[in-house]
Amino acid sequence: MDVTSILVCDDHEFSRKGLIQSIKNNIESDALFYEATNGIEAVELFKKHLPNIVFLDVEMPEKNGIEVCKTLKSLNPSSIIIFITMHTEKAIYAAIKKAKANAYISKSETNIELRKCINFVTNNTTTFYSSIENIFLSDEEYIHYQHVQDGLNILTNTEKKVLKLILKGKNSSEIVDLLFITTKSLNNYRYRICKKLDLPPVNNSLKDWVYLNQTSLKIFFDI
């Protein structure tokens, strides 16, 4: 692929400028560079310039990187999306793959890894590249996290509100009061959320899962 334009999206100027310089040092091209500081700006710049490659961070203002990736891929499936982020949570990694990104690189990686990634994705546009090996213990664990992504996508608005309030540390009585629902209704919502997220419908299973995945969920729900 002849790389003529690159969009770099990161709300931290130091990280963004540093990444641009690293990319310039690792590609043999006079590509034009565009910079976005938030998710909405990233989408608008993409529509205007249709860059060959987009570098995304996961956690960005206005719209997180995973949602941006879904939007960009719907606009132009052939554009290459590379996530470069500090987040290594399994739920986020699974979400990146499910969003049809082309690659994942940890921000702790070297320029050699960046060059390797760019060379790979520009020649293998249908194969996912990752700088992390064996993040999942088994195929079954990966499938479970993919099911979780499916479940999060089909939660109703009220179920999302319940999950957000659990994420914020609210107890049952507080959730009931805030949503103006009964305790029975809350229990029903919890049961349906557990079913959609492939969690066992036992006491505290949802609360424990939210605690274990709080970093990922805060990004997914922009909290």
Question: In the chain, where are the structural domains located?
Answer: 5-130, 154-220
Q: How far is CA 77 from CA 102, 107, 120, 149, 222, in A?
A: 10, 25, 17, 20, 25
Question: Is residue 105 within 8 Å of 114, Cβ to Cβ?
Answer: yes
- The class of domain 154-220 in CATH terms is mainly alpha
Mean pLDDT of 135-145: 79
Q: Rounded to whole angstroms, how far apart are CA atoms 128 and 117?
A: 10
Question: Is residue 58 within 8 Å of 83, Cβ to Cβ?
Answer: yes
pLDDT for 67-94, tens place per residue?
A: 999 999 999 999 999 999 888 888 888 8
Lowest average pLDDT, out of 5-9, 108-112, 177-181, 184-188, goes to 108-112
Residue 173's pLDDT band, with cuts at 50, 70 and 90, is very high
Residue 223's pLDDT band, with cuts at 50, 70 and 90, is low
For the whole model, what pTM was predicted?
Answer: 0.80
Tell me, what's the pLDDT at 106? 87
Structure tokens, 112: 């050699």
Tell me, what's the pLDDT at 200? 81
Mean pLDDT of 147-156: 83
Structure tokens, 175: 């959730």
What phi and psi values does residue 130 have, to the nearest 5 degrees?
Answer: -140, 140
Judged against a pLDDT cut of 80, whether residue 181 lies above it is answered with yes
Mean pLDDT of 182-201: 89
Structure tokens, 71: 């939007």
What phi and psi values does residue 4 have, to the nearest 5 degrees?
Answer: -110, -20
Q: Sheet of 32-36: strands edge to edge? A: 32-36, 5-9, 53-56, 80-85, 103-106, 129-130
Judged against a pLDDT cut of 90, whether residue 180 lies above it is answered with yes
The whole-chain average pLDDT of the chain stands at 88
Judged against a pLDDT cut of 70, whether residue 176 lies above it is answered with yes
Question: Is residue 195 within 8 Å of 148, Cβ to Cβ?
Answer: no
CATH of domain 5-130: 3.40.50.2300
pLDDT for 25-72, tens place per residue?
A: 888 778 899 999 999 999 999 999 999 999 999 989 889 999 999 999
Mean pLDDT of 143-147: 79
